[in-house]
Amino acid sequence: MKNFSNYTDYDKKENWKIGSKLVHGALGSDPMTGAVSFPIFQTATFRFRALGDSLGFDYTRCQNPTVEELERTMAILEEGTEGFALASGMAAVMCALSVLKSKDHVILSDDIYGGTYEIAQTVLPDHNIETSFVDLSDIELFKANIKENTKMVFIETPTNPMMKVADIAEISKIAKEKGIIVAVDNTLLTPYYQKPLTLGADIVVHSGTKYLEGHNDTMAGFVVVKDKEIGDKMRAFLKYQGGCLAPLNAWLTLRGIKTLELRMQKHSENAMKVATWLRNHPKVKKVYYIGFEDHKDYQTTIKQTTGFGGMLSFEVDSKQTALKVIEKVDMILFAGSLGGVESLITYPMIVTHHEVPEEVREALGINERFLRLSVGIEDADDIIKDLEQALE
Ligand SMILES: Cc1ncc(COP(=O)(O)O)c(C=O)c1O
């Protein structure tokens, strides 16, 4: 007998394959009406039956059925115990970092997303929290940067835009021995290709604006945890800092997630074709794609992921060529962001990493000849044709 009466009992669908979990979410259909498309509960507040007697919802900043359906879906997909939906990926990053206190130290990937870099450079020091940026694809460098007061390591893997890969299991093993919390920004590969909590991480962070929602039409952010104590801190941050996800945006993200399997497979297939083509172009000096067998971190990649995703970066022969590509692309759009169905190209030096000081950017390789491509799900031949005419 199906439960047609409440929003709290949901089946964790542990024995389903991920493709089915993506389509059916947590509750899937609406338990009250049977609606196959989970409803958008577009309400700020909920009526009480009597004093102290609600139906489990009282105020949307604290709980909302559409948002809860998405949070539970994310917890199922990442194999965590609790998920938290926030208004953007940046809100999710801040939420994860909220476990830090004054005098703590946090280690972050050196070419982390520009916004996270900015938080670590400005917001955290204002709260007397020390930060170190470390190439986390080098485990010895990670070990060497651990201090007495290191409380967290914040990993982005693969990094954006240099596509460096950190060994989540190895870092987690070392961190666990020292009581360091491991947070992983899993935006680029999504739980479809990588599940950090199963590799030993404590917190997963997402910009849901990217592949999860997938259509470049809404902002969202997620945190997923497996430990109750950390979860309670995340819930308190979400509730009192107020960066909750709006019900409509939650619904759009739930809808996007249903097709994640098909989209990720197409993004990856296209990215491999485009990366391989770019690599053989005379004006392209280097292509950064984690699916290449000669990528320096390939062995780590295949140990912890089941696919390579749709992101790649490349360096051309001159600044003029880079600027010409941006100007001449036609089907590929020159825009920030990534992970949507449309192919987007960007110039990280100016668009995504302008907060990063020039000397740091140069040392990372984010120079005036460097471009990042989020390969969409159009026909790969058309993406290549567009790049061909832009590189002429
Ligand atoms: C890896 C990564 N993390 C976090 C963010 C921040 O997410 P949002 O733009 O949804 O706030 C981004 C945005 O580009 C990102 O690429």
Q: What is the pLDDT of residues 141-159, one digit of tens each?
A: 999 999 999 999 999 999 9
pLDDT of amino acid 218: 97
Percent of the chain with pLDDT over 70: 99
User: What average pLDDT does the segment 302-313 reach?
Assistant: 98
> Are residues 62 and 239 in contact, defined by beta-carbon separation less than 8 angstroms?
yes
pLDDT of amino acid 251: 98
What ligand 1 atom has the least distance to the C-alpha of 352? 14
What token pair was written down for 167?
């060994």
Residue of the CA atom closest to atom 14 of ligand 1 = 337
Residue among 157, 187, 212, 217 to mutate when testing ligand 1 (max atoms within 8 A of CB): 187
pLDDT of amino acid 2: 58
Q: Distance of alpha carbon 294 from its chain centroid, rounded? A: 25
User: In angstroms, what is the span from residue 34 Cα to ligand 1's centroid?
Assistant: 35
Compute the distance between CA of residue 223 and CA of residue 74 in angstroms, rounded to an integer.
Answer: 9
Residue of the CA atom closest to atom 6 of ligand 1 = 89
Residue among 190, 210, 249, 337 to mutate when testing ligand 1 (max atoms within 8 A of CB): 210
pLDDT of amino acid 360: 87
Instruction: Exactly one of 151, 195, 210, 263 is catalytic; name it.
Output: 210
Q: Is the pLDDT of residue 1 over 60?
A: no
User: In angstroms, what is the span from residue 89 Cα to ligand 1's centroid?
Assistant: 5
> Are residues 112 and 156 in contact, defined by beta-carbon separation less than 8 angstroms?
yes
Query: Taking the complete model, does pTM exceed 0.85, yes or no?
Result: yes
Winning range, highest mean pLDDT, from 53-57, 339-343, 350-354, 358-362: 339-343
Is residue 217 within a helix (H) or strand (E), and if so which, with residue range?
none
What ligand 1 atom has the least distance to the C-alpha of 208? 10
Compute the distance between CA of residue 351 and CA of residue 372 in angstroms, rounded to an integer.
Answer: 10
Q: Which residues line ligand 1 (CB under 6 A)?
A: 88-90, 93, 113, 115, 156, 160, 185, 187, 207, 209, 219, 221
What ligand 1 atom has the least distance to the C-alpha of 112? 1
210 among known catalytic residues: yes
113 among known catalytic residues: yes
User: What band does 305 get if pLDDT is binned at 50, 70 and 90?
Assistant: very high
pLDDT tens string 49-67: 999 898 889 999 999 999 9
Q: What is the dihedral of CA 50, 53, 55, 59, to 10 degrees?
A: 90
Q: In the predicted model, what is the mean pLDDT of the chain?
A: 95
H helical segments located in 160-310? 168-177, 190-193, 228-241, 247-258, 260-279, 298-304
185 among known catalytic residues: yes
- Domains by residue range for the chain, with CATH: 18-258 (3.40.640.10), 260-391 (3.90.1150.10)
What token pair was written down for 59?
């105020």
Write the CA distances from 378 to 90, 340, 385, integer angstroms: 28, 11, 12
Instruction: Exactly one of 7, 30, 72, 113 is catalytic; name it.
Output: 113
User: In angstroms, what is the span from residue 354 Cα to ligand 1's centroid?
Assistant: 15
pLDDT tens string 2-34: 556 678 777 777 889 999 999 999 999 999 899
Residue among 88, 113, 118, 346 to mutate when testing ligand 1 (max atoms within 8 A of CB): 113
User: In angstroms, what is the span from residue 207 Cα to ligand 1's centroid?
Assistant: 5
